[in-house]
Amino acid sequence: MIIKASELIKEHEQIERELIELDTIINSPLINYPNLNHVMKKIKFIWDNHEEKEEFFFMTLYKKGFTIPVKKITFEHGKLKRDMNLITSAINSGSEFKTKEALKKDGANLINQIRKHIDDENWIFYALPKNL
């Protein structure tokens, strides 16, 4: 499997677009449930594929002698997936109260955590030699 840093960076950009949409939904007075479901499914789909590629990419670099915080990255991936599941569970509960609470608390936190995670990874990508 060949994975390029540029491919992962493009996926980060896709995730960011969905995070902007999720942020808009969170800050809207009324929840657009079809849009919320669509955005969450899209984030989860992109994220699941993306994290698998990243873990392979970073582990490959680590094995080649690069100083990569692989354990931290994989730990954060698991934590972010858990946080996404909290929001999805609230949506699936059918309770508007639980959904709004999860979006305000967990949704805003998820957005911030994913953005920080992406920024940390992008720093690694941009610091790599161009021939990788």
**pLDDT, averaged in runs of 10, over the chain (132 residues):** 88 95 93 92 91 90 88 85 90 91 91 93 83 64
Give domain status of residue 104, yes or no: yes
Number of compact structural domains in the chain: 1
Nearest-angstrom CA–CA distance, 37 and 77: 21
- The pLDDT of residue 46 is 92
Q: Within a domain: residue 43?
A: yes
Please report whether residue 114 resides in a domain: yes
CB-CB neighbours of 83 under 10 Å: 18
pTM for the full predicted model? 0.88
Asked if the structure places residue 132 within a domain, the reply is no
User: Half-sphere exposure (CA, 13 Å, Cβ side) for 121?
Assistant: 29
Q: Looking at residue 79, what is its pLDDT? A: 86
Please list the helix, strand and coil fractions of the chain in percent, rounded to the nearest 5, in that order: 80, 0, 20
The domain of 85 spans 5-127
pLDDT value at residue 78: 84
Closest CA to 58 of 113, 3, 130, 131: 3
CATH code at 51? Answer: 1.20.120.520
